Amino acid sequence: MAKVAQMLDEKESRVRSVVYGKQRVPEDFLIKFVQVFQVDANWLLLGVGEPPKPELTSVEAALLDNFRHCPTDEQDAIIKTSALLAQRPGKKNLKNAG
């Protein structure tokens, strides 16, 4: 929570109070949160609309670009291979590999 407080330029105690429901979400806090984290206030408050989509890392973007430039039969092979790799026991987490 310290990082969130820092990003919002708020005291960590205030962030904790809001997160744990000890304090209602103040308007200024909500406005900052929506701006800093680029989320839709309607989605955040009411669950209406789309949740924010995470940005792709440079590696993910490159993989997607390569996939899109492959012929359909090769895309099918990539889909099947990735599904099999995701199911194998003892698989390495790509984020921690290398």
| Residue 51 is assigned to a structural domain of this protein | no
Measured distance between the N- and C-terminal CA atoms of the chain, rounded to whole angstroms: 29
35 with 9, same domain? Answer: yes
Our measurement of the distance from residue 24's CA atom to the centroid of its chain's CA atoms, rounded to an integer in Å, reads 25
User: Do 43 and 50 meet the contact criterion of CB atoms below 8 Å apart?
Assistant: yes
- Domain hosting 28: range is 2-46
Residue 14 CA to residue 16 CA, distance in Å, equals 5
10 with 34, same domain? Answer: yes
Structure tokens at 58: 């440079």
Q: Output the pLDDT for position 53.
A: 80
| Residue 96 is assigned to a structural domain of this protein | no
Provide the Cα torsion 87, 91, 97, 98; round to 10°: -110
38 with 64, same domain? Answer: no
Q: Look at the chain and report how many structural domains it folds into.
A: 2
Written as tens digits, the pLDDT of the chain (98 aa) is 899 999 999 999 999 999 999 999 899 999 999 999 888 888 888 989 888 788 889 999 999 999 999 999 999 999 999 988 888 776 555 554 44
| Residue 52 is assigned to a structural domain of this protein | no
